[in-house]
Amino acid sequence: MLRPHPSFVHDLLETHATLRARLSQEDSTEIRRRLDDVTYTLCVSTGTRTLDAALASARAQLAGVASQADSGLAA
């Protein structure tokens, strides 16, 4: 399976967190639509079907990249 670039995954996670925080302060159709779009993109990018699985997969991917960098395996 192809994997998205780690910076793309990182940006998706940050955008998701930002939109969830904004939604808790201001419930608007635009924020909900953008959150739905980011959720969909996270699921597609990680090959998962649920938000929880997508978030877990994205975080695991980023943790793997970080551990590779720490061990000197990242190129």
Q: Give pLDDT tens digits for 33-62.
A: 999 999 999 999 999 999 999 999 999 999
Residue 47 lies in a domain: yes
Residue 73 lies in a domain: no
Residue 15 lies in a domain: yes
Over residues 3-16, the mean pLDDT reads 96
Residue 71 lies in a domain: no
Residue 14 lies in a domain: yes
pLDDT of residue 68: 65
Residue 70 lies in a domain: no
Q: pTM of this prediction?
A: 0.84
Residue 12, class by beta-carbon neighbours within 10 Å (0-12 exposed, 13-18 middle, 19+ buried)? Answer: buried
Residue 13 lies in a domain: yes
How many domains does one find in the chain?
A: 1
Residue 54 lies in a domain: yes
Which one-letter amino acid corresponds to residue 40? Y
Query: Residue 30 belongs to what domain range?
Result: 6-60
